[in-house]
Amino acid sequence: MSKSHIIEVEHLVKKYANLAAVNDVTFSVEPGEIFGLLGPNGAGKTTTINILCTLSKPTSGKALINGFDIVRQQGQVRQCIGLVFQDPSLDERLTALENLDFHSRVYNIPASLRAERTEQVLKMVEPWERRRDVVKTFSGGMKRRLELARGLLHHPRVLFLDEPTLGLDPQTRNRLWEFILGLQKTEGTTIFLTTHYMDEAEYADRIAVMDYGQLIALDSPEVLKGMVGGDMISLSTTDDQKAQTELKERYNIQPEYDDGQISFEIADGSRFIPTLIKGLKTEILSISLRRPTLDDVFLKLTGHRLRDEAVRSEFKEIVRQMGRHQRRR
């Protein structure tokens, strides 16, 4: 393992009974990078984060953060990471200031720095006037921003964000992202992010795509999108089956079918559409052309879309129950 990586993960496995929530995952993250872990619900993103931040022990494999082993040097690992969880983790009965004060004490921030740091992070994310208000009275977006401020208070080397903008309105999401990007620039903080929002993953320098506990691709968003090549055309027709056969036979195209939409990639989409409209025997109901997105990449890699939620939530529920079962033992 070279010294220059801030996060090193090798053959990480987490099993619940016979189910591998994380299955032999290997990757590394460079200092100052925004690293995105992308995948549908239940893909193993949160389990991976929980292992990296010492909340859960791996079944096998190894991981280092800032050179510290996540199993044997938990104290050091915890000191150099900051976390914003998927679910809220503030003490709602305390004020914003009290929550931050608790955090600075348990993270050993020297008393002389505490007030200054607290003011600095709070002013970045919150109306400073509300610092003495009980957190219970805050809106969802304010709470999430306060959590972000708290995660930054001890100047972590790595900031873990587990679905940081889940359930937030677009405006708040944008503000949060402005802040995160600024932070990465000014402080050089490494950001490790999980998300299933495509547009959010685009902020990342590199994206690891995860599905059913395995890493299936790892590269920059541009390269990943390049895998799709060309443009994406989606269409719906009066007889999708027939249209697909036609596409295969006449244009030598391998279409994907998902959610009532036929979609395929083609080098020069805008020129192909007129040809298609004239040539296709099946009646076209709608047709659209767009640049490939990470969702298309995901479809290409796995054969299903990121938003295939039904199966996923079932899988996630199994993982959750197994986890509970194991914790009880």
Partner 1 sequence: MNNLWGIYTIWYRDLLRFWRDKARMVTSLAFPLLFLVVFGSGLSGSMGMLAPGVNFSKFIFPGIIGMTVLITSFMSGVSVVWDREFGFLKEVLVAPISRVAVAAGKTLGGATIALIQGTLILVFAPLFGVTFPLKILPQLLPVMFLVACALSAMGIFLGSRIKSMEAHQAVMQLLMFPMIFLSGVFFPVNNLPLWMNVLVKINPVTYGVDSIRQLVLGAEPAAALGITIFGHTMSIAEDLMIVAAFGVLMVVLAMWSFGSQE
Per CB under 8 A, residues contacting partner 1 are 53-57, 75-76, 78-79, 81, 83, 85, 87-94, 98, 102-103, 105-108, 150, 323-324, 327-328
Residue 107 or residue 179: which is nearer to partner 1 going by CB?
A: 107
Residue 43 CB, nearest approach to partner 1 (Å): 20
**Residue 313: CB atoms within 10 Å:** 14
CA distances from 184 to 77, 108, 144, 152, 250 (A): 20, 23, 18, 11, 50
Residue 106 CB, nearest approach to partner 1 (Å): 4
Residue 26 or residue 73: which is nearer to partner 1 going by CB?
A: 73
Residues 235 and 261 sit within 8 Å (Cβ to Cβ):
yes
Residue 258 CB, nearest approach to partner 1 (Å): 35
Residue 54 or residue 263: which is nearer to partner 1 going by CB?
A: 54
Residue 132 CB, nearest approach to partner 1 (Å): 13
What ranges make up the beta strands (E) of 212-278? 214-219, 231-237, 256-258, 261-266
What ranges make up the beta strands (E) of the chain? 7-16, 19-29, 34-38, 60-65, 68-69, 81-84, 158-162, 190-195, 206-211, 214-219, 231-237, 256-258, 261-266, 284-290
Residue 150 or residue 312: which is nearer to partner 1 going by CB?
A: 150
Residue 290 or residue 324: which is nearer to partner 1 going by CB?
A: 324
**Token output for 70:** 């996540």
Residue 93 or residue 185: which is nearer to partner 1 going by CB?
A: 93
Residue 206 CB, nearest approach to partner 1 (Å): 25
**Token output for 295:** 């969702």
Reduce the DSSP state of residue 201 to 3 states and report it.
helix
**Token output for 326:** 């194991």
**Token output for 324:** 């509970």
Residue 74 or residue 172: which is nearer to partner 1 going by CB?
A: 74
Tell me the CB-side half-sphere exposure of residue 265, using CA atoms within 13 A.
Answer: 16
Residue 271 or residue 324: which is nearer to partner 1 going by CB?
A: 324
Residue 44 CB, nearest approach to partner 1 (Å): 16
Residue 309 CB, nearest approach to partner 1 (Å): 23
Residue 101 CB, nearest approach to partner 1 (Å): 9
β-pairing verdict for 68-69 and 60-65: antiparallel
| 179 CB burial (10 A radius; 0-12, 13-18, 19+) | middle
